[in-house]
Structure 1
Amino acid sequence: MRRKLAVALVMVTGASLLTACTADASPSAVSVAWAGAGKNSVRVTWKDSSAPNRITIEGVLSEGPSYVHYLPAEQENSWDIPTSAFPPDGNYRVVVTNGTTKEGLTGKPVKSPVFDTDGPVRPSSAFAVAQGRGVLIRWAVPTPPQDFTPHDPLDVEGTKAQKYVPLVGKPGGQPAPIGPGTTSARQVINSIKPPFLFQLRTENEWSSNVGGQVVGLTSSATVFVPPKAQYSLPLRIRGRVVLQETYCAAETDCALQQTTSAGIPLTVLTQVTPTARWSPVARGKTTAGGHYDIPVVTAGSRPYKVVAGQYAKPGVLTSESSSPAVFTRGVVRLLAGGYLGGNNKKRGEMVTVFARVAPAYTSTATLQLWNRQTRSWKSVKLVALRRGQAVFGFKIGAVGTYSYRWVLPQAAQGGRNMDGLTTPKLDLRIRP
């Protein structure tokens, strides 16, 4: 009896072990390869005994994507995973396990060799300069990062020269290719003017990148110049440069938007004579917000305008623009005026009153005296103005306080008239 029980236990135990081994059967020889010449998907293959399978993606030193796919037992041991299921710039492997959604997993997971999904190298440091009626754009290509899984099953064999597809976006349309992919680091775009947005698109089997961007900007300048300014003194030319750039959002048409920039070079131009060419008299740059404030020495009655020159720096190209011309009328400037020896004199002493002005022109000045009875200025003498100086000597026989002033006429400078000048009153005290 005991022998029969022992034999029975052995048979039961053996049957139990056989069932467990069958349940724990695992796939083997999991491998990955490109599914075709287009490299749009990864083909996973494995070996097992016609069992249902679950396929997942496991991240190596990074989080794995939430990709899960179940295959029935009658499905062949092969499955294509689209490359979009793999996050770029990471290391991954495919995991195959036996099991179903209802009964769960059986056996051990088996993993493919590790492979990377390094994305294309993004072009950088794009720089544009105007060239004729077009633009020359150059860019730099950084050194590819180190490959930590060399010769993995999905590495592309042969030359890995990266191509860049040039794109241009204009207001009212989306960025579109303007030529085939190139391995060059320069692109000439003929007959293009700002505003535009230039980009370089590059891609490999795993992802795509856009870089090497250049924003082509247009500019418009405003200017304020004082309507009058004294000769030989600085006048302040102020204004602002506003830029228009092409902004391209994803899956929408590009549009224009305003912006400002510091560092745009500016040139102040003037016409020395009415028929002369516009010539530079000062230079400056915009500050924060696109504002500028440039001093210019007044040299007579003249028009002024500000030109925002072409401006290029990495990623930016600005076209030239000019403000409207604004006229400033020059005013004769009083350099000195008063009485030689001071304004305190004895009765009957010689009094010398003078005025010195700029520019040093020749004309006739008028000396005026304040009349207390009529409370008005009366002209007392026409005095020659020679090279900007007027001098007149006289004597006063009555004690008292007197007030004189000079009225200086218009001056001609550069074929245009400047406003004359009336000096403040010059008080004179006559003592006994």
Structure 2
Amino acid sequence: MRILPALAVTGGLVAALLVASPAHAVEPAPTNIKLSWKPNATERIVVSWDEASPVANVISLRQRGQTKVFRSWSTTAEQPNSIELWTGAVSSSYAGMRDGLPLELAVSAGSDGPEALSPGFDADVPVTPQRVSSTLAASGAMTVKWKSPPLTDLTPNDPLDLSSPVTYQAGYDAAGFSKIKIGGRTTATQLTYTLRSAHTLWVDAYNEWGSSSAYNFLSTYPTSVTAKVPAWAVYNRAAKITGTYAPAHEQRQIVLQARNTSTSAWYTVSSGKFSDGTFSFPFGTGGSRQYRAVAPATWFGNTLAYQGVSATSSSTTQLDVFGFFVSPQIGTYDRNTAGVYVYPQANTTATLQRWNGKTWTTVGPVAVKNGTGKGYIIAPKAGRTAYRYYVPATVYGGARFAAAYTNTFVNNVIPGMSTPCLPSQGCHYSTAPR
């Protein structure tokens, strides 16, 4: 037997090992990548492509000119050469890509094969609505206007451009966790609604790529007001109307209102700005009437404090009257002047009264003009006698004032004699006690 040299055997093995394995063909990149909206469904887009032979594909979302992948999807070789994507997952807001660059989708053959790029496109949700104005009518209706600045189109006429306008949905949150809609979606950029309870208004802006929300568009809270009004007061004497308002953390305008009867119109008596939740007004000289304190609705930035009104309180104002004798002492049958002052300076008729030791008796009427009256008496007997005036309720300047008695003033008669004053001269005779 012929034995082959070991070297020859070894050389044959080496030659066999050096024979090349068959080469695998590289899958070409997909072609004809198209973007379109799914028919009758504006919340989904369709990405389609062509390829030489069925192969798994990877679809990647990124910004034009960048390599960072924000999101990716995959298909198998058995699936069609297309995929539907939810617009919310593709929009710029999903991955925080609002930095002025358009988007593109890359479709690759396999996980590491060559790729092709879609046309660039914009996928921005609307700019968050911005409040322009808020107006509260006397009826309680709130009118709110806003704007949503237009987006800059970086890829004009891209395959996914639509001409649909931005729409808005407004609503309110009354409990801190619920969203209650007001009406339906609209293209209008203003809303009028009436809601007197505390709430927060929100406005959502929608386009084909999703929505943006202004959650704290404006907020409101109620105001409570209390007022303490003197139930009885004397004209032009020191007295105050005091009260509180809450919340107390803001400076508020407080208006003191009054009306002359329970059916007449309210009018403003005084107003001022107050802090720390308390207020005080001079009681004034307006007569008997009803009062209330009002904290008008006030805006603090985008927060509205609703109007607050206190309970209605009635107050009676009494005439301020004063009686006196001109002469502190007279002789018998001398005439003494019994004067009376009335405030406010009304025209009325007062009644002079005398104490007879048991009760007050009427001496006679005394005319009062512009707040001043003069009565005259003759005391035929020596002694001290107490007098007073009764001034009836009256109306002055349209305001009502309650009746009043003056202070008690004393006529001191000493023995003496003078010519009597006759009743025709305006004198009243009064018999002093013995």
Q: TM-score, normalised by structure 2?
A: 0.57
- C-alpha distance in 1, partners of 2:244/2:208? 48
2:147 to 126, 141, 144: 141
Q: 1:227/1:314 Cα in 2 relative to 1: closer, same or farther (>3 Å)?
A: same
2:344 matched residue in structure 1: 359
1:124 to 123, 127, 131: 131
Q: Mark the structure with the bigger radius of gyration.
A: 2
- C-alpha distance in 2, partners of 1:385/1:199? 70
Q: 1:279/1:171 Cα in 2 relative to 1: closer, same or farther (>3 Å)?
A: same
Q: 1:330/1:410 Cα in 2 relative to 1: closer, same or farther (>3 Å)?
A: farther
2:103 matched residue in structure 1: 92
1:35 to 38, 49, 70: 38
- C-alpha distance in 2, partners of 1:356/1:37? 91
2:258 matched residue in structure 1: 269
Contact kept in structure 1, 2:62 and 2:69, CA below 8 Å: yes
1:221 to 225, 228, 231: 225
Contact kept in structure 1, 2:254 and 2:274, CA below 8 Å: no
Q: 1:84/1:142 Cα in 2 relative to 1: closer, same or farther (>3 Å)?
A: closer
1:162 matched residue in structure 2: 166
Map 1:380-399 → 2, pairs under 5 A: none
Shift of 1:324: 1.6
Contact kept in structure 2, 1:55 and 1:69, CA below 8 Å: yes
Contact kept in structure 2, 1:229 and 1:298, CA below 8 Å: no
Shift of 1:422: 7.6
Map 1:266-345 → 2, pairs under 5 A: 266-271=255-260, 277-284=264-271, 292-295=279-282, 297-308=284-295, 322-330=309-317
Shift of 1:155: 1.5
Q: In structure 2, list runs of 5 or more residues that go unmatched.
A: 1-10, 325-338, 354-365, 375-387, 409-434
- C-alpha distance in 1, partners of 2:288/2:138? 38
User: What is the Cα-based RMSD across aligned positions, in Å?
Assistant: 5.6
Q: 1:263/1:13 Cα in 2 relative to 1: closer, same or farther (>3 Å)?
A: farther
Give 3-state SS (helix, strand or coil) of 1:113's partner.
coil
Q: Which amino acid aligns with 2:293?
A: V
2:86 matched residue in structure 1: 82
Q: 1:199/1:275 Cα in 2 relative to 1: closer, same or farther (>3 Å)?
A: closer
2:120 matched residue in structure 1: 114
Shift of 1:408: 9.4
Shift of 1:144: 1.0
Give per-residue Cα distances to partners, 1:365-411, cap 9 Å, x unaligned.
99xxxxxxxxxxxxxxxxx99766799xxxxxxxxxxxxxxx99888
- C-alpha distance in 2, partners of 1:276/1:289? 34
- C-alpha distance in 1, partners of 2:36/2:217? 35
2:336 matched residue in structure 1: none
Contact kept in structure 2, 1:266 and 1:285, CA below 8 Å: yes
Q: 1:276/1:113 Cα in 2 relative to 1: closer, same or farther (>3 Å)?
A: closer
2:385 matched residue in structure 1: none
Q: 1:128/1:290 Cα in 2 relative to 1: closer, same or farther (>3 Å)?
A: farther
Q: 1:239/1:95 Cα in 2 relative to 1: closer, same or farther (>3 Å)?
A: farther
- C-alpha distance in 1, partners of 2:44/2:124? 15
Q: TM-score, normalised by structure 1?
A: 0.57
Contact kept in structure 2, 1:42 and 1:80, CA below 8 Å: yes
Q: Which amino acid aligns with 1:151?
A: N
Shift of 1:312: 8.1
- C-alpha distance in 2, partners of 1:295/1:151? 72
- C-alpha distance in 2, partners of 1:219/1:309? 9
Give 3-state SS (helix, strand or coil) of 2:290's partner.
strand
Q: 1:316/1:161 Cα in 2 relative to 1: closer, same or farther (>3 Å)?
A: same
Contact kept in structure 2, 1:329 and 1:419, CA below 8 Å: no
1:417 to 377, 402, 407: 402
Shift of 1:80: 2.0
Give 3-state SS (helix, strand or coil) of 1:80's partner.
strand
Q: In structure 1, list runs of 5 or more residues that go unmatched.
A: 101-105, 243-257, 338-353, 367-383, 392-406, 424-432
Contact kept in structure 1, 2:131 and 2:144, CA below 8 Å: no
Give per-residue Cα distances to partners, 1:226-274, cap 9 Å, x unaligned.
45656336754343455xxxxxxxxxxxxxxx89865567451232xx5
1:57 matched residue in structure 2: 61
- C-alpha distance in 2, partners of 1:409/1:64? 99
Contact kept in structure 2, 1:203 and 1:209, CA below 8 Å: yes
Q: Which amino acid aligns with 2:402?
A: N
Q: 1:364/1:119 Cα in 2 relative to 1: closer, same or farther (>3 Å)?
A: same
Contact kept in structure 1, 2:318 and 2:401, CA below 8 Å: no
Contact kept in structure 2, 1:267 and 1:309, CA below 8 Å: no
- C-alpha distance in 2, partners of 1:15/1:334? 129
2:332 matched residue in structure 1: none
Does residue 202 of structure 1 match 2:205? yes
Shift of 1:205: 1.6
Shift of 1:63: 11
Q: Which amino acid aligns with 1:202?
A: A
Q: 1:303/1:135 Cα in 2 relative to 1: closer, same or farther (>3 Å)?
A: closer
Give per-residue Cα distances to partners, 1:33-80, cap 9 Å, x unaligned.
323331212322334443333333224699978533333333333222
